[in-house]
Amino acid sequence: MTTQTYDYIIVGAGSAGCVLANRLSADSNNKVLLLETGGSDNSIFIKMPTALSIPMNTEKYAWQFNTEPEPFLDNRKMHCPRGKVLGGSSSINGMVYVRGHAKDFDEWQQHGAEGWDYQSCLPYFKKAEAFYLGGDQYRGEKGPLGVNNGNEMANPLYKAFIKAGQQAGYAQTGDYNAAQQEGFGPMHMTVKDGVRSSASREYLDPVKSRSNLTIVTGALAEKVLLEGKKASGVAYRIKGAKSQAYASKEVILSAGPIGSPHLLQLSGIGDSATLTNAGIEVNHHLPGVGQNLQDHLEFYFQYKCKQPITLNGKLGLISKALIGARWLFNRSGLGATNHFESCAFIRSKAGVEWPDIQYHFLPAAIRYDGKSAFAGHGFQVHVGHNKPKSRGAVTIKSADPTVAPNIQFNYLQHPDDIEGFRACVRLTREIIEQTAFDDYRDGEIQPGKEIQSDEQIDAFVRQAVESAYHPSCSCKMGEDEMAVVNSHTQVHGIEGLRVVDSSIFPTIPNGNLNAPTIMVAEKAADHILGQPLLNASQAKIAMTSQWQTVQRSSEI
């Protein structure tokens, strides 16, 4: 058995782990070890944005988790892939860049995450970002993470979607990641120079040669080593060979919303009854570990298209070859975008203070995983109710670290979530029926015009919804009895141990999770290093003053 000592050990080279490896090793006095179960991200399918469905569904690059039968989704088992490669889920995701609404982070502070309000988080979003239109009080321009709009909405369907939203009485927003999230506008993606801008590419690749940074791939973490109530290191294995590494300062878990709570439980940290049932010795009773699990659901609203302008006409072998060749030679064209180039954020009903429904528009009628497409031309909008009240759990079931934990989201358990998806169906239909789509819309493919009543909508949703792949909140930050880490990301009751990834979100934001995960890691790095935090922003946010009485407003 090999043993070595470092200052910091980071478990997981995903969105958060890559950020931490970069920031912590910037001081040459810090000796840093980064452990990752997966391997290299040097694959054309990871680098080419349009190939996004491939790495997510490939065993080599992603843990292919499935949930337990979900009782409120007709007992369906839901796919829950997580990154298993350098860059983690930032190397397999859809590259959509959404920070979330400002109020989402104020909500974190209200849940006990002191210092994680919007004004405190905004400087770290900016620090991480290189926005293609330049920086201002909301956007960063000198950070590692490239953010752009793909092909500038060259397909007319993108702008038709925005126009339809305006015709339906909603506001337009030029930048949903700035002052005003609510409304219809262009969508942003983590793509730089036509290539996926993953955490590995932007944070890890530039610093791999640092002598004080050791990156070990193919390493399955088995448990955190404890000396009483202090974390001293990590036990891991590579191809069956056992190793141990010790940390003189801290162990940091960045294994994600499934991996981090599972690793804590493997280490005897968690609910004592849960650990005992799995045959694990209890080292520290912490009942919130694995609890509070949240995710976004979405379904596809699909329509036939009158004009042959959709991506459904680009799915043949010759078209794909031409797209690939253009991308290989100059990193441009349809290969350089994730194809989600317009979007919207709206409120599901009057009385909802900030948006809880999100749209991604796609000029194609095709499954997200690419496995099936409409035979003719079509377009779709992905829609989901993004502030769920249902809660689930990640629960260990074996002391064997190779045995996946039970994953149960309890999707649609809460009646408000069901009501939210009814609103998704009815509001989306109204939007697509606007005159902006008259030249394109040629009949509803899914759900189908016959789906009208609450009962019909509910049945359709139960069968049609899929995970938006945003699991989070399973090691929540706060000070209550179910909190796992404090506001400095330190595990309650264990010295020298932190969790830094999307598992520590107290509540799920209204949007995709890669941007806030990277932000959390940027801010956590300053906490870990004991550096002064960036000054809180004074930037204002724009919201409708009539939210209590109206569901939509054309002026915000």
Catalytic residues: 470
Query: What are the residues whose beta carbons fall under 8 Å from the beta carbon of 48, sequence distance 6 or more?
Result: 195, 196, 324, 327, 335, 336
Query: What are the residues whose beta carbons fall under 8 Å from the beta carbon of 474, sequence distance 6 or more?
Result: 257, 258, 260, 261, 289, 290, 291, 292, 293, 393, 394, 503
Euclidean distance between CA atoms 310 and 363, whole angstroms? 5
Euclidean distance between CA atoms 71 and 5, whole angstroms? 46
Euclidean distance between CA atoms 500 and 14, whole angstroms? 11
Cα separations in angstroms, 400 against 85, 110, 286, 514: 22, 38, 20, 30
* Nearest alpha carbon to residue 13 among 525, 548, 501, 447: 501
* β-bridge mates for residue 241, sequence order: 238
Where is 552: in which H helix or E strand? none
- Is 101 in contact with 109 (CB distance < 8 Å)? no
Euclidean distance between CA atoms 386 and 155, whole angstroms? 27
SS3 444: strand
* β-bridge mates for residue 192, sequence order: 195
DSSP assignments along 458-521, one per residue: HHHHHHH-EE-S--B-TT-BSSSTT--B-TTSBBTT-BTEEE-SGGG-SS--SS-SHHHHHHHH
**87 backbone dihedrals φ, ψ, rounded to 5°:** 100, -15
